[in-house]
Chains A and B, each alone.
Chain A
Amino acid sequence: MAVLNEEQEMLRDMAREWTVNESPVTEFRKVRASGEPEAFNRDAYATMAQMGWAGVIIPEEHGGSDFGFLSAGLVVEELGQTLTASPLVMNTVAASAIVLGGSDEQKAKWLPRLASGEAIATLAVDEGPSHDPAKIETSVSDGKLSGTKAFVHEAHGADLFVVAAKDGLYLVEKGDGVALTTRKLTDQRSHADVTFDGAAADKLASGGDSLLDDVLDRARVLTAAEMLGMAQQVFDDTLAYLKQRVQFNQVLASFQALQHRMADLFADLAQMRSAVEAGLQAVDGGFGVARAATIAKAEANRVMHTMANEGIQLHGGIGMTDEYDVGFYLKRARVLEASFGSSSWLKDRFSKLSGY
């Protein structure tokens, strides 16, 4: 755990208390059972926004607290632990695009509403099933944006889309010229292909050439933070299970073959935490962001992948049941792993950033 300041500790403790008491995995089960494509609880999100979580990276003059990404990551990590379904991550990423690239007018119009929870935004970049920001066909002419975005996270609840077009990022409001096709993924959260057909688009004109990369790096570190919480939870649940399950007249935790696998996972988790926290801190520090975010997401992918598999294996048959939570973590893990950079994509980027 990074060394935190007092505000950050309070924020994390508050998030932990709320998720454990008000948003345990049973809440996610309810969301799933409701079958609503937007797949989150509006009341719960309103409460989260009231606690200030939607505005953690938004400047104070626009209604946020401006605590930064390490702070946002602390909240997201807690939400990940209980698989709380909410658009908080995507809303934060989309808000960061406006913070970095918006005009004063755009900021004044959107940021206070995104901070208060009154409006929800998301990010729409990829146009195929694999993350590839170099392959964008979406284009804008005369302020009208056209193109199709694939598997947009939290699309159903979004009032505002931050859309990547060939020549930059645009704000597009839901409504005329915006059509959603639901894509149900294994994590049972909100995903949709979004077709923009001459939708009114407002360019995020500041932020320079690197705006899209900068925003995606923020998506990477926050997604990695969610995965960190998930990995921690799978580890804790698995360890607790091994300590109470008896076979051969002894608890499973007494078998060395299993002890060593847990020691491996524990060490992996330590690495994942270091990488994710360093990624969040790099965004706050504004230095070495691309590299740090690549490492953060790559480590999150690697460790979460193994953690989810081992979590199931070490639970035995019960891990395969829908009644048990561990399977939910596996399903969400793979969706996040494929989003904003698969492991091979990230390694390619790391090589390029390193000059080989």
Chain B
Amino acid sequence: MATQIEPATQTDEDAFRAEVQQFLADNFPAELKGQSNALAGVDGPTNETPAQTKWREAVGARGWGTPTWPKEYGGGGLTKAQAKIIDQEFAKAGAYNPIGGMGVMMFGPTLLEYGNEAQKQEHIPPICRGEIRWCQGYSEPNAGSDLANLQTFAEDKGDHYLVNGQKTWTSGGQWADKCFAIVRTDKSDKHKGISFMLIDMDTPGVEVRPITMISGTSPFCETFFTDVKVPKENLVGEEGQGWTIGKRLLQHERTNISGGGSLARLMGQSLGDIAKKYQPTGADGELADAVLRDKIADFEIRWNSFLLTARRAMEESKAAGGVSEISSVLKKLGTKLSQERSELLIEIRGLQGLGWEGDGFSDGELEAVRAWLFGKATTIYGGSTEIQNNIIAKRVLGMLDHQ
């Protein structure tokens, strides 16, 4: 019989599905059913319950929270098809993925691409086990959209750098263990003077001050660095390569902001169904307010074609190897649409959709208000919509730099 490589067959998939189901039966604590992952978000500290710890450790030990990452660094070493099966089975069981956060979404993939062997060995496995929280030290008071204008300076002191300066809008800075930061190592060149380094948040000289946001929470901080010693082995890539590495990370961030699980989950509930609970309906069960009905359909059609676009981009990028500049298109579209959805939700609910707190509002209603307010940030962070437009025009469409 001739030997040949067999493509993954239906029976392989069925066997793997059964394995995941068994794993869930053995490890998923029933009391966690329907919960979401506190660690993945950046809007609260983790005070894990014993059940949550047990679940995180079980998933982390298998690497199934980062299913497609290499096994040698603690990932699952699985195929995309298998990762999808994990997603599906977890969802069916009402189980969340306990492994998340910026380490998973953006830092890990970037380090796998640019880190040296020792760095990967040190930092990737704890991400896969959900043990370490990372934060992003990019923005500064005078370096927002013009990120390369950053001034935080890392002075070469032989075996270490001495870092001085200020970062701001550092999401989760107050809860983070470590920070991936872009800092200046050379003042003579705007872009080539930037380096990418990893800073322990408990190093003496690091200080964080939370900032309160319009949604009432304090998910981000000002972060001050005063004579902070950073060992040389914490430099990722070469000195001066920080801009390239830092931008790569932003592509992962954008892909996550736009196409990520949170948007797909939102899609679960049709705005039309919600509207029927708040608004009068006609004889055939159709919304009586024809203008609102038209607005909802208009939105949902565009939302659908956005989801199709995110899926198409994923299929096309499979061959091309990961994230690309299409992430700018997805980020721009996805954030605008999710903001529109939040606004429509308020319009549908009237004043009942603007509650701040109290018994007169359901949890869902109150969460929607906070999400509406927080959602305003999505077109600002990760590169604002205007910056995505610049990227599309210049890098994708080849239009010239404006003066």
Contacts and interface: CB of A to CB of B under 8 A. Distances in A.
Interface of A is mostly: helix
A74 interface: no
B305 A356 contact: no
Contact of A350 (B297, B306, B311): B297
B330 to A, nearest CB: 9
Contacts of A267: 329, 332-333, 392
Interface stretch (A41-49, A117-125, A161-169, A250-258): A250-258
A354 B316 contact: no
Contacts of B394: 259
Interface in B378-403: 386, 388-390, 392-394, 396-403
Nearest to B319: A3
Contacts, number: 131
Interface string B243-272: 000000000000000000000000000101
Interface string B150-191: 000000000000000000000000000000000000000000
A109 interface: no
Given A256-B390, A259-B394, A351-B287, A295 B301 contact: yes
B397 A250 contact: no
A274 B393 contact: no
A1 interface: yes
Contact of B297 (A1, A270, A274, A354): A354
A299 B309 CA distance: 12
A100 interface: no
Contacts of B296: 351, 356
Contacts of A2: 312, 315
Label chain B's interface by main secondary structure: helix
A302 B396 CA distance: 23
Interface size class of A (residues with CB under 8 A): 35 or more
A350 B304 CA distance: 11
A243 interface: yes
Interface in B21-40: none
A266 B297 contact: no
A157 to B, nearest CB: 33
A287 to B, nearest CB: 14
B308 A274 contact: yes
Nearest to A350: B297
Interface string B322-334: 0000100100110
Contacts of B304: 275, 295
Interface residues of B, number: 45
Contacts of B300: 350, 354
B131 interface: no
A179 B285 CA distance: 43
B305 A274 contact: yes
A194 interface: no
Contacts of A355: 270, 272-273, 285
Residue from A3, A243, A256 whose CB has the most chain B CB atoms within 10 Å: A256
Contact of A256 (B273, B286, B312, B402): B402
Given A259-B394, A262-B393, A356-B273, A299 B287 contact: no
A119 to B, nearest CB: 36
Given A352-B286, A356-B287, A266 B397 contact: yes
A266 B308 contact: no
Interface in A161-197: none
Most buried by B among A251, A258, A270, A346: A270
A354 B286 CA distance: 10
B297 A254 contact: no
Nearest to A300: B305
A356 B301 contact: no
Given A263-B392, A355-B272, A355-B285, A277 B312 contact: yes
21 contacts: A1-B316, A2-B315, A3-B315, A3-B316, A239-B399, A253-B399, A253-B400, A259-B394, A259-B402, A263-B332, A264-B389, A266-B397, A274-B306, A274-B309, A274-B312, A298-B301, A299-B301, A299-B305, A351-B293, A351-B294, A354-B297
Given A243-B398, A356-B293, 15 more contacts: A3-B315, A3-B316, A243-B400, A253-B399, A254-B401, A260-B390, A262-B392, A266-B392, A266-B396, A294-B301, A299-B302, A347-B297, A350-B301, A351-B272, A355-B272
